[in-house]
Structure 1
C-alpha cells in the first residue's frame, strides 16, 4: 500500500528543560522560527533541526544548522572545530580561515573544480549544513519519505508561494544547503560516507557481497542527492543545493554530475615490506632525516623510484608531503617523470599539489589553535622546497607539451605527404 506523503510535515523540536525539582518541563519549541533559546551553545550557528511527522507520528528527523559566516571572519576553522569534528573537516576542506571558498574548487579552472558549476558565490553569506537525515521507522525507509522531507525542508528555507525567504531578523538569507554523503548513514546503516569509502580506499572489499553492498550504497546516496537537486562540490565528498533556480548547478543534468571512481587496487598488508622507500619517507619528520636515506634513493632500482602504491603515491609524493628538499632533488635526479604523476584519489594530486596542501593544512591548524605561523628556518625551508619543486614541475610540463606538439605536427606532416603521393 502506497504511503500518503501529503500528511508529511516538519515540526521544530521541543525544548526540554528541568525545573527546580529536577523534573523535565516543556517550555516551547526550539527552532528557526522563534530562536527561543536565550543562550545558544554556539552563537555563530543556528539550529534548524526538524522532526519529520507522517500522519501525526514522528518518523524521523533532519538535523541541520545555519552557519552565520559573516560573524566568523578570520576564525572560521577554529570556531567550526568547536561543535564537532565533522563541521571542522567540512570547513577545512572547502573553505579558508576566513570562510572563503577555496580557489582549487572554483570552476572552471580550479584543480579540484570537477564539473566547475560552483564558484565564488560560495564565499558569501550564510549557508545551511545538513548533518543527518534519519528515518527512524525502519519500515518507511527507501519509500520516498526522506526525499519528501528534504523537499519540505528546502521549502522551509524558501517560501515557495511568495518567493520570500522565511528569515528571522538575526539571520542573512541562506543561498546554499550543503551536506556530506554521510548524511544518509542512518538510512543506509553505514558508519562512514560511501563516497569517502571509495576515494580513500579504492581497494575492493575482500568479501564480494560486501563490495556489492558498498557500490549499491554509493549509487543510492548519489541518486538521493541528485534527485533532490544537489550537485557535487568539485571533486570533494560534499554536495550542495543552490537556492537560486538559475545557478549553474541547477542546470547541470544529474547524469553529467558523474563520479569517476579510482580503479580498484589491491591493498598492501605490509607497506614497510612492499613499499620500503615510501615507508621511510613517510615516517621521517620535522624536516630532518638520516643521510642514509639519500643513499637508499641513490641505490634503489629505478623501478622502486617510479613505483606507485595502491593510491597512486610515488616516493616523490611522500618526500614532497614532508617537504624534504634533499630527498626531492635526489628523486627527481633519478627520474623526472614522477613530477607529473597523479594520485588515484579524487584530488589527483601532483607531488607539488601535495606539498602545497600539506603546507596549507599545517598553517590552518596552527591558526585554528591560536599558534603563530611557521617562522625562521622552518619557513624558509618550506618556501625553498616549494619554489624548487614548482620550477621543476613547470619545466617538465613545458617539455611534455612541446613533445606532444611535435608529435602532432609529425602526424599532420605524414598525413599531408600521404595525400600528395596518392595524387
Structure 2
C-alpha cells in the first residue's frame, strides 16, 4: 500500500506556466490513494481552469477566501483542519515571498497560516528569479521554519532561458511526497523525551551564568519527532522560541531544575534525546542581595553540577539515549569518548568553533554509535532534525525490534 493512501492532501496552485503540470499531479496522487482537494490563486486560474481540477480531483475547487457554500462561510478554516499535507505546486517567487512574510489576503496564503499541516513547496520560476538574493533568502527562512522544498530542476524554461527553476515533474513530486510520508511513521506511538536550550545558574537575584545555546536544534527535533508520530515531551531552558504544535513543554531554569524535570519524565519515555546545553558548573552560593560593584576583582567559587545525561542513563539503562556534544576541537574523539564513558546508545556531535551552530539556522552533525558513524553535512536545522531522527529510529528499532 502506498504511503500516500488515505492522506488528505491539499494541492495549492499558483500562477505560473508550470500550473499545467498540476493536472497530472492530481491524477497521480489519486492513483496513490490520496484524498486530494485543490486550492487555486486568481493567477493560477489564468493558466488552468478550476473545472479541469475539479474533474480530476472529484472535489470542488477552492478559490475564494470567504466561501458562502462553506460552513459559516469560513472555507479557509475547514481546509486548514482537513489537510494533513499542503503542497504548493507550482510555487512562484511571489508565493514564496508571501509565505515568508505571512500574508493572508487570499485563500491559499490564509490556509497555510491557519493549518498545522506539513507545508511543502515545489518552486517554479525563471532562472534569474530563482538566483535572486531575495528568493534565496525567502527559501532559507521557510526551510528554517520546517517547510519542505522539492526542487527545482534545471533545464530549458518556457521563456527560452536555460537554468535552475523548472518545477519537478509530477512523478518526481509524488515520489518526494511518498518519501516524506514514509518517515512519518518511524516513531509512531513512541514517547520521546527531549531536553533543549541553555540553563541559567544564579549568581545573585539579578545575574546568572549561561551559554550561547538558542534551543533551535532541540525544538527542531521536537517538531520532527511529532511529525514522525511520536508523543513528545520537551524540557526547555529559557529560549525565545514557540513550542511546536502537539508538544508538551516544561520550562526550567537551572541545571538542577532540568535534572528534576527529566527524572520525573524519564520513566515513561522510550527515547531520550539530550540536546540541552546544561551548565557544567554552578556557584556554590547565591548572594541574597544584588552584588555591588565595589571590588576591582570578583571571585566566584563554583562546583560541578550533576550530569543530567549520565544520571538518567545510569538510572534507566534500558532507555534509548542520544547525547549531544558541542566541541571546539577534536570533535570525533570527544564524541566517542563521551558515548563510551556515559554508556549512551548514540551521540550527535558538532563543531562550535568560529561561531558555528550556536543561534544559527544551519548545523552539521557527526552521528556516532557503538559500531557505526554517519556524517550529516551542513543544512537547515529542521531538515537536519529529520535526518538525525531517521538514524535514531533505525538504531532504536535495531536494538528493540519488538518495541
TM-score (norm 1): 0.25
Larger relative helix fraction: 1
Larger relative strand fraction: 2
